[in-house]
Each structure stands twice: as C-alpha cells, then as structure tokens.
A = this chain, B = another copy of it.
Amino acid sequence: MAHPPTPISPPLKDELDIVIPTIRNLDFLEMWRPFFQPYHLIIVQDGDPTKTIRVPDGFDYELYNRNDINRILGPKASCISFKDSACRCFGFLVSKKKYVFTIDDDCFVAKDPTGKEINALEQHIKNLLMPATPFFFNTLYDPFREGADFVRGYPFSFREGVPTAISHGLWLNIPDYDAPTQLVKPLERNTRYVDAVMTVPKGTLFPMCGMNLAFNKELIGPAMYFGLMGDGQPIGRYDDMWAGWCSKVICDHLSLGVKTGLPYIWHSKASNPFVNLKKEYKGIYWQEEIIPFFQSVVLPRECTTVQKCYLELAKQVKEKLGPVDPYFQKLGDAMVTWIEAWEELTAPPQANDQPTKTPIKEEPSPKPK
C-alpha cells in the first residue's frame, strides 16, 4: 500500500524560539527568511520604547520593549539590562519553548566554501540534538557527525556522551574581538571556514559570544542570564561572557555538554572600538580575577538543578568577587532576582498558589502596524 509522502517540517518548528535584541528595523531578517520564517521570533526592543521597530512581513513574532519588560516583571525588571544587548535574556525568560536560538541583527547568512548558504539554525539544532563529549578529547572532532567517529584510545564508557545544553556558533568576516584587538588590527577579517564542531572539555572555560548562540532551555535556561550591563552599570560587552562562564561551570557540574564551531554566520559590521573600549575597560581588568574565580569554583553536591547551582553561584560571586568591586554585590543580587523571575514566569500554574501571589501577565505590546 502506498503511503502519501510525509511533508517535511522544519526541525523543532514548534519547539524553538528565535530571540533577537535590537534597536533598529529588522531588515536583516529578509536574508534569513528561507530559514527563519517557519519559526516564532521574540524581539526584545532595547532603548527608546516609543520608537517603532519594523519587522518584515510574514514573520510570526512578539515584540517586547522596555515598558513591557517593566510591566511584566515589576520590580524584578531591575535584573534586565537596558541599552545593552544583555536585554536579550528577557526573551529567554518569556519564551515558552524548549530551545532558544539567539542572533544579533547585524549577522547575515554566511556561505560555506562551496558557495552554499549556511542554514545556521539547522546546524545549531543538529548540535543540540546530538550528544556532547566533555570528558575526553576526540581528535577527529565531533564523533557523532557523519563520516567521523571516536578514534582509537577513546574510552568506550565515554562514548554515549552527555546531553548538549549549548551550541556556540562562529562568525565569518568581522571576528568577535575586544576593543584593544580591534584597535590594533582594524582590518582583520575572519576568512577561515573551519569545518568542525567540538565539545569544550569539562573544566575548561571559553569565551561565549551571544551573537550566534543556541541552547536547550530545559537543560540550562536559568543560567543564561546576561548580567547587569549598559545603562547605569560600570561595564558593557561582558554580558555573554558572564552567561558563558556561569553556564559552563554549571554544565560541568551537571554533566551537560557545550559545543562550539559550526555554524558560521556573516558578521557584517565592526562596532566602534573607542566606544567598546569605554564599555570594556573595567571588564578587561576584572576578568583577571573573575576567570580564576570561575576556574576554581566548586558547586556542592546538593546543587542538583540549574536553579540551585545558579543561586549558589550568586552567593559565591558576592563573597569572592564582592571584594573586587561593589558591582559584584549588585550583580549577585540581580542573579537571585533573575532566578525569582525565571521561576515565576516558567513555573506551571499551581492549583494551591497563594492568592497573594499576583500572576504575572506576559502580554507583549500589540504588534505595530
């Protein structure tokens, strides 16, 4: 008996949201249309909430501006940064899906060496759905990829791998450099397409960039807090780094995997290195103390969930980094607020909820136009 052909649905169509922080019209979506249009977008409008952000026709989206964030989170809105792409994590909070892909609005579709346009989202989904291998290095890179495997000497008991929590993609054209490197090498472009995905080994920190990033919200969502940056804060451009350090130590503790490599996006425009230097300079010297802290942090055995891990981390941040600068006291408090907001917005409704607890309304602003 002949079966009708099964229609091919985009992978994880109903299980993934695309989160985009922006201050401008989202014309960049035109180029992504073939890949993104089937998915739901969550747009986090930064800066002036009275400004109208134009979204190309045909996309399914919800848009939140600062007024929405304040309305939905109330006093807890203090943990969401303003005038900094760190505001993107508000999108993670309101997403109802299992997976999140987040991308900057100056990132376009890159081409692989054969000239084919790269479906970045599809590669992230592959990365997230296949296991990771953090306990031992595989010299032929991702052992689960077609045409590859574990090499001789790879312990068999590690070959099952662990669930992948994070997929970190890379950038062709403008590399993600800090301000000093931008200043020293203004013309450097990344033209090297490295055809590999790999697991960042357990115990190793990496600089996680938020430009082209996907994660499993159920596995690691509560650790994807982008910190206090931008308006009223002494630091910027460390939002994704902060989330990367926190989420990596928690992934290590909970035996979850973090992958980096493919997919590439085309990063179109270098940000202003002089502006960046002003945002970064405190981070540049603070990180010399932050990194040793994260390299040596130990989470107790009782921390069996991401939330518990994150609250423990918040406590240790205040204790150990507080002496570096009062900013870290504030950041530690904001980490706790973030978890409170996370639990309120993502908790399934309970029949015996205390009546004093006002349910949070998450309706976004009406779509413009």
Contacts and interface: CB of A to CB of B under 8 A. Distances in A.
Interface stretch (A53-61, A197-205, A333-341): A197-205
Given A139-B209, A151-B177, A153-B287, 12 more contacts: A136-B204, A136-B207, A137-B200, A138-B207, A141-B194, A148-B190, A151-B207, A151-B209, A152-B241, A153-B240, A153-B241, A155-B287
A178 B357 CA distance: 59
Contacts of A129: none
Contacts of A147: 188-192
A157 B260 CA distance: 23
B206 A136 contact: yes
Contact of A140 (B170, B201, B202, B244): B170
8 contacts: A138-B207, A139-B168, A141-B194, A147-B190, A148-B190, A149-B175, A152-B207, A195-B195
A260 B136 CA distance: 14
Interface string A215-242: 0000000000000000000000110110
Contacts of A353: none
For the complex, would chain A's binding face be called helix, strand, loop or mixed by DSSP majority?
loop
Interface in A126-185: 136-141, 147-158, 168, 170, 175-178, 181, 185
Nearest to A141: B194
A32 interface: no
A2 to B, nearest CB: 33
A70 to B, nearest CB: 30
Q: Which of A188, A201, A284 is most buried by chain B, counting CB atoms within 10 A of its CB?
A: A201
